[in-house]
A = this chain, B = another copy of it.
Amino acid sequence: MKAKVYVTLKPGVLDPQGKAIQHSVELLGFAGISDVRQGKYFEIALDNSLDADGAREAAERMAKGVLSNPVIEDYRVEIE
């Protein structure tokens, strides 16, 4: 089973890395870009000792406790 965790900065938190990417792509000639924000993405392979509910619960706990900083970041978990 695979869990996918997406971590993004909360709206309102400044994203200087995203701004740098936006500036760079504009210099490279891409037009019509109004904002770029960078996040993180994790693919977690889980063995078969966990069922779908257990996998989601473990992935949520991992996302909240280890993979994201809940003060400035949101996370989203998908189970496949």
Contacts and interface: CB of A to CB of B under 8 A. Distances in A.
State the number of copies, please.
2
Contact of A6 (B18, B24, B31, B41): B41
Interface in A2-31: 6-8, 18, 21, 24-25, 28, 30-31
A6 B8 CA distance: 12
How many of chain A's residues touch chain B, expressed as a range?
20 to 34
Nearest to A45: B35
Contact of A41 (B21, B35, B41): B41
Interface string A54-68: 000010011001110
Interface of A: 6-8, 18, 21, 24-25, 28, 30-47, 49-50, 58, 61-62, 65-67
